Structure 1
């Protein structure tokens, strides 16, 4: 960040992982450098409210509550999370617990810094868990946890889920094969694309030689936001209210930024949210299980 600022960069866009984005956002705020955050979802992207950062991805509290509603609507109440130490996973577990507990759900935390993937199976049986959520990194230990659970006949009826979206990755399907199917996760796409979204989907598919993930659409929409800023002649380094003047058609709907309660950055409220999984009959196809 410091090197880019010294080179005269006047705005930043992108990133992939919430923990990385949190470090970028903090430094962008300190430097007074505009930052369009494409994919990171942590609510507390910065410690204090900032005018320098605008975010396209939905806040974690928004998306993960929708995921919790999916679990409840499907009848899952006794839930475990296989969790690694991380500000991102800890925040996710807290959101799930706060949303599920008042509605009759329970959350059991399985610390993956202590447990081996095979030991997770015994813990699931001991706690009579009906759903296990993978709040753990890809590829490991998430892949090993999935393999262990799939191979344990005692857990044949257990639902596994991954709200952070690991099953969307092509590598997930390559590593796990059929074991990676039927694991619901969050993605941020509409039920039907607009004309713009459909055109971009075709163009991305041709360029990537495969179906684009929702992250690709987040990237395109980031460019659309920056183009709108340029068209309007807005100077993000001088006018801190510039984000509020953005209004542009993205691939997933009209993008506008506002101040959302409890969110420290300018926020698009909200991109569409889906819970999907890989279809066991057609693993390269995603089934929509729940929408916001």
Structure 2
């Protein structure tokens, strides 16, 4: 399998650099906008590390590979980056892709700090080679379920594409909601039209529809169909995975895309570091940075600290440093620990919000719930 070339803008590989392999979805069917934000954060932190003297006087270099949401492509990229001699891996947004990359990194003995993927079972077995910044899916989606109950929703429909990520999310919601008196109805998304989904919502008397589907298709047509059906004026739309966070959502849907609550991993107020990084990311991205951009920055900030403190030439020593990490990140102090049921070292826990776009001004966000 041919692997993609280094992304334009990345410095050429040379022997004097300390190299970090960066896995990022930059082309379809990957969520390219999320990948662009993730890469902006990774690069900003690398640039700042180099401005501060690099790693023991050596420049820090990102060697970027586009995963395009393809697990096989990610595995091939991990193999290639390991051969290139990277000190560690960083990044990835899509959970299923990150799981493939984590398994390969574990097999090769290559430290991997996962930025944004949330599947609890990121690896099939406990490993010391992998750590993660994003919260586990079980924590985030249980928080979302608490939000639904607090908002009075007890008949909830789920439109879910077939994938382990969406199936796991549905299971977490069901296990949390049904013991508390709510009903979760799964809609068959193998070949329905948006209009058929609207009829299903009426049949099941659902007061909320959760969009566990791809973006822009079929999420955007579903939102438009529900918003424009006067019989469903009282139905809340939700997107736990975070689609409304990104500018493309607002561009495609306008006011139809407002008031669709989603999960994001930000504090109520950024501290001095987060505020400074937000301004720098805004300039690079030409708009407001998503939480994914902050995850990217924090990833490289942690790895740069580990490599400065524990050296660059021993991958086992790098992985052994996860329990000793104590780094000020953009969203709080980052430390890793073992969490029951999760096989990787986990930041326990990042800040978590349920937010949506304000109907009065869809360019602004409202925080609806915190966890």
Deviations 1:166-214 (A, max 9, x none): 0111111111111101000000000011111111111111222211110
Of 202, 227, 242, the residue aligned with 1:150 is 227
Of 333, 338, 352, the residue aligned with 1:259 is 338
Partner of 1:193 in structure 2?
Answer: 270
Structure 1 Cα separation of the partners of residues 167 and 191 of structure 2: 16
How much does 1:241 deviate?
2.8
Deviations 1:261-281 (A, max 9, x none): 111110001000000000011
Query: Gaps spanning 5+ residues in structure 1: where?
Result: none
Q: Residues 24-103 of structure 1 correspond to what in structure 2 (within 5 A)?
A: 24-103=101-180
Q: Residues 146-225 of structure 1 correspond to what in structure 2 (within 5 A)?
A: 146-225=223-302
Root-mean-square deviation over aligned CA pairs: 1.1
- Give the conservation status (yes or no) of the 8 Å contact 1:11–1:33: yes
Q: Does 1:133 align with 2:210?
A: yes
Q: Does 1:238 align with 2:306?
A: no
- Give the conservation status (yes or no) of the 8 Å contact 2:310–2:321: no
How much does 1:19 deviate?
1.2
Query: Gaps spanning 5+ residues in structure 2: where?
Result: 1-77
- Give the conservation status (yes or no) of the 8 Å contact 1:234–1:242: no
- Give the conservation status (yes or no) of the 8 Å contact 1:190–1:272: yes
Of 18, 21, 27, the residue aligned with 2:95 is 18
Structure 1 Cα separation of the partners of residues 325 and 296 of structure 2: 17
How much does 1:49 deviate?
0.9
Following superposition, which runs of at least 4 residues in structure 1 exceed 3 angstroms of deviation? none
Task: Give the structure-2-normalised TM-score.
Answer: 0.77
Structure 1 Cα separation of the partners of residues 311 and 363 of structure 2: 42
- Residue 36 of structure 1 aligns to a residue whose secondary structure is strand
Partner of 2:200 in structure 1?
Answer: 123
Task: Give the structure-1-normalised TM-score.
Answer: 0.98
Of 351, 358, 361, the residue aligned with 1:279 is 358
